[in-house]
Amino acid sequence: MSKDNIENLKKPDNKDTVTYGTFNWGPCVVQLRISDGFRDKLLEGAEEARNKKINYQDKLAGIIKEEYAYSNKEKYLSEIAQCLGVYDVAFQKFKNETYAQKPEYLVTALWVNYMKKHEYNPPHDHSDTLSFVIFLDVPKEITQEQKDYVGKSGGPGGLSFLWGDGTRQAITYQSIIPKTNDMYIFPAWLKHYVAPFYSDVTRISVSGNITDSVFLNQLKKHKQANIVSHEDIEKK
């Protein structure tokens, strides 16, 4: 239990207090805001991938026609590493423990999604250790759809994370309304989905998968490593 979660509750008679605490439980999802400079850099690479038509759709779960792999993911490693450093700090606080050894990360996949009306991502998870999504351009029409939406889910274009068995005493999902420059880092095994929107616009997001050194060594040991480089895809 984190010390930050311990609070005092006044008894009805106001003569005493009851100390109680809550436990952090389940997966750690971290929200960040990227800089405009990093967004512009990713947008430039996204257009390059789109022009080269480095198709990545057949490797993904989404019902999205335009999904392309970045041709040079190494170009963005410095900024991604900085974001992963923030995740490490947040995760250690979330779990209330310190890493015995700082993890080393490898970006195994980086792709852009040009999502249009009626397209969606069904519930799915990813391979590797961590995954992330960065929203580069969220049109105002989608934001208005979300404001007009009446319901309990994330609404049009919403990003939802699923975890647990649905018991009444647990929070089993989180629905998020993405904004431009939002980044979410989460465990790759965490199921999530993206709802469709209905305006005639395009939302641009970037997704990626991250492997840490421990997981990668385990894969190599069992001869299961199968990391396809985007350079290989481009040559096909």
Is residue 175 classed exposed, middle or buried when 0-12, 13-18 and 19+ CB atoms within 10 A define those classes?
A: middle
Low-confidence ranges of the chain (pLDDT < 70): 1-17, 166-167, 214-236
pLDDT of residue 76: 95
Evaluate whether 53 touches 66 at the Cβ level (below 8 Å). no
pLDDT of residue 226: 43
Residue 57's Cα: distance from chain center in Å?
Answer: 18
- Reported as a single tens digit per residue, the pLDDT across 50-60 is 999 988 888 88
pLDDT of residue 127: 85
Rounded Cα–Cα distance for residues 142 and 115 (Å)? 11
Listed in sequence order, the residues at least 6 apart from 73 whose beta carbon sits closer than 8 Å to its beta carbon are: 107, 109, 110, 208, 230
Could you please report the per-residue DSSP string of 102-156? Answer: ---EEEEEEEEEEEETT-BEEEE--SSSEEEEEEEE--HHHHHHHHH--SSS--T
The whole model's pTM is what? 0.83
Q: Report which residue type is found at 103.
A: P
- Domains of the chain and any CATH numbers: 28-235 (2.60.120.620)
pLDDT of residue 58: 86
pLDDT of residue 11: 52
pLDDT of residue 236: 37
Q: Report which residue type is found at 46.
A: A
pLDDT of residue 101: 81
Please tell me what DSSP assigns to residue 132: E
